[in-house]
Chains A and B, each alone.
Chain A
Amino acid sequence: MNLVQLSLLEQAVFVLAALILFLSFTLLAQSRLVSGIHVFAWQGAVLAGATALVAASGAHHLFISAGLTLLLKALLIPWMLHRQVRKLELERHVETLPHAALVLMGGAALVIFSYWVVVPIERLELLATRNIISLSLAVVLLGLLIMVTRRQAVTQVIGFMSMENGLFLAAVAATHGMPLVVELGVAFDVLVAAVLFGVFFLHISESIDSLDTDRLNRLAVPEDEP
């Protein structure tokens, strides 16, 4: 594929998509909780920007979902997370990432893996979108990696939400947006999930007096032990 042949708008979408992936890596290595929330908010904002660019290049109905993304992912959910963190007095919480170099290399491997998965699609004439699909798959997988490597419940939620960002990027940039009903439904689900996560932070911190999910291990006791 020759990137120069694409229109400027499309090239800009690519740049933003790459930026989203970069922000995922930042999230992966971020050890401060509050900074993590900020990075997540920026990711949402960049996603909204990418959506708006796609909308400007022809798919005008996407302006609605761009606005929705900006509102939900860049403002509302980060604000909610921030409030939870303040309420639970975790502002100064620093979580050292064990084996940081290894995790980051794992992240890089996941990006390569995503490109490998998309290879069969590459043979299609739809070249412009295959980069986007592999980029968004990489964002999804990096979100998964964040959830696996972190123990803090709030960070796990950030990982979860950044997975959603990757999905959204795929929907917007590769298919010019899902039908509006579906997008509204997905946004609603994400919102409800965010609220429920807030409820759960409270429950977890009540029951184990911390948000370290490694200590959620009562059910993991070997089952034949008395």
Chain B
Amino acid sequence: MNALLLTVTLPLAGGLLLAVVRSLRVAGWLNLAFCLAGLITSLVLAGQVLHHGELVGYSFHVDAFNVYLVVLTTFVGFTTAIFSRPYMAHVCQEGWVSERRMRLYHAMFQGFLFTMLLALTTDNLGVLWVSVEGATLATVLLVSLYRTPEAVEAAWKYFILCGVGIALALFGTVLVYFAAQHALADPRQGLSWMALYAESAHLHPAVMAIAFVFLLVGYGTKVGLVPLHNWLPDAHSEGPTPMSAVLSGLLLNVALYAVVRFKMLVDGALANTENAAVAGHLMMGFGLISFLVASLFLHRQRDIKRMFSYSSIEHMGMMTFAFGIGGPLATFAGLLHMLVHSLTKSAIFVTVGHVSHIAGTQVIEHIRGMIRTQPAVGWGLLLGVAAIAGFPPFGVFTSEFLLLSATMDSWPWLTSLLLFGLVVAFAGLFRYLHPMVYGKAPEGQQAVTANMLPVMLHLLLVLALGIAIPAFLSHWLDQATWLIAGSHLL
């Protein structure tokens, strides 16, 4: 329990402290230290959950499903902090950001981690909503950190679209609470996920179905599901690179986590009605459309960060689709894909930060010859993209393969659409990647000091997950699969 409380409160304390630390050097290191401490406590927490099963108390609820996302969040937060310290110091030296705004940056970085961890661990669906909205508020000023007209526009779009989306999610939450009023013995427990889950068979099916539509649209906006994805490429491309890494690697996951939690409730409520799988079908539809549209959009990008944010939409679509299919195999694939996508995508964004630093631009046409100028960065980009495109030894291949098999099992004719999307996305990524990595470097392009440790760490983990998933991890994912899908895979 202590580990849990520490994991959640450390970033809060860090955020408050960093808001008053004036020295930039100290702030960078402090940020890193808080992230490391958070990582350690979350590992302890994971160990406890692994040994004793779920942890409940103080209206927190940690089980196999969210504890692995907690560890993922603190881990990606930690490696991004390693990257962010020298990168943001450089940005500040270049004069793009004033020192006061750097304070805002560090405080909000921790604040964002706090909202993510709170959203993951809380048992209260209202608090879940508050913290997901809090994540928007924490990051919106970071998207506009550079104060260019483009950045302000991106932030405004992000604010309005996510604000509207999340408002619809609150309406869904109110409806769930409304349904709970008539099903639960103690109506005041009506927002506790565990109490609702225990009684989910008694929740009114029609109310829950309507609520789920609102929740899916609401949290789906944050997941980046088409047609509500417009904010995502803008926010990712205009914000500072460490922010893109955590937005893509963490925020999207947490929003999807919320959708899956609600799906579990709705499935329980609809189990005995004629359209029992309506929640799953909705998720499959939205997921598949997002996947296909985003993979087509990959071909029409000029900005390297926008390109990779469309790739994020594509992968989130795939995960939503996987959870929509339901069943142990697809759920396992979805969980694994959440893990490997976060690791790979944040590694890519970190590399892209170095790449745009070397080239001095984010425009793909002007990024050339990375492997000549700085082999470490060039290879990082190449391997990262190979991993995200689903090349065999990497973990993304494993999860995509599992998803394809699951689709083959239950919806055979959708497999062709999935394969089509995968090929299109693959082509889209590689047609731009090749000249960026191997092209002729422009005169005078110089290597920069780049810390590739986070990237290597992430890619090695993804590689390891692709070759052999360790027994404890597969057991862990299997536990989560059991929670969501109702039966074990392994």
Contacts and interface: CB of A to CB of B under 8 A. Distances in A.
Determine if chain A interacts with chain B. yes
Contacts of A166: 171
Contacts of A185: 126-127, 130
Contacts of A129: 178
Interface in A167-189: 167, 170-171, 174-176, 178-179, 181-182, 185-186, 188-189
Q: Interface SS of chain B: helix, strand, loop or mixed?
A: helix
Given A153-B156, A178-B126, A185-B130, A203 B147 contact: yes
Interface residues of A, number: 53
A189 B130 contact: yes
Interface stretch (B157-165, B277-285, B396-404, B452-460): B157-165
A175 B157 CA distance: 32
B100 interface: no
Interface string A132-146: 010011001001100
A218 B144 CA distance: 14
A207 interface: yes
B234 A193 contact: no
Contact of B177 (A144, A178, A216): A178
Contact of A121 (B126, B157, B206): B206
Contacts of A216: 152-153, 156-157
Contacts of A160: 160, 163-164, 167
A147 interface: yes
Contacts of B190: 175
Interface stretch (B298-306, B381-389, B430-438, B461-469): B298-306
B174 interface: yes
Interface string B126-170: 110110011001001100100111101111110110011001101
Given A126-B182, A218-B150, A140 B168 contact: yes
A140 B191 contact: no
A132 to B, nearest CB: 10
B210 A167 contact: no
B302 A223 contact: yes
A200 B188 CA distance: 38
Contacts of B447: none
B278 to A, nearest CB: 12
B403 to A, nearest CB: 29
A1 interface: no
A35 B209 CA distance: 39
A192 interface: yes
A6 interface: no
Contacts, number: 135
B207 interface: yes
B174 A174 contact: yes
Contacts of A167: 167, 170-171, 174
A137 B172 CA distance: 10
A196 B137 contact: yes
Contacts of B130: 182, 185-186, 188-189
A197 B181 CA distance: 35
A127 interface: no
B140 A196 contact: yes
Contacts of A175: 174, 177-178, 181, 190
Contacts of A219: 150, 153-154, 157, 234, 238
Contact of B124 (A147, A156, A182, A188): A182
Contact of A182 (B127, B168, B178): B127
A97 interface: no
Contacts of B160: 147, 156, 160
Given A163-B167, A174-B174, A200 B147 contact: no
Contact of B209 (A120, A179, A207, A217): A120
A218 B238 CA distance: 12
Q: Which of B177, B188, B234 has the most CB of A within 10 A?
A: B177
Contacts of A92: none
28 contacts: A121-B207, A124-B206, A136-B171, A144-B164, A147-B160, A147-B164, A164-B167, A167-B167, A170-B171, A171-B174, A175-B178, A175-B190, A178-B174, A182-B126, A182-B129, A182-B130, A196-B141, A199-B141, A213-B156, A216-B153, A216-B156, A218-B150, A219-B150, A219-B234, A219-B238, A223-B301, A223-B303, A224-B300
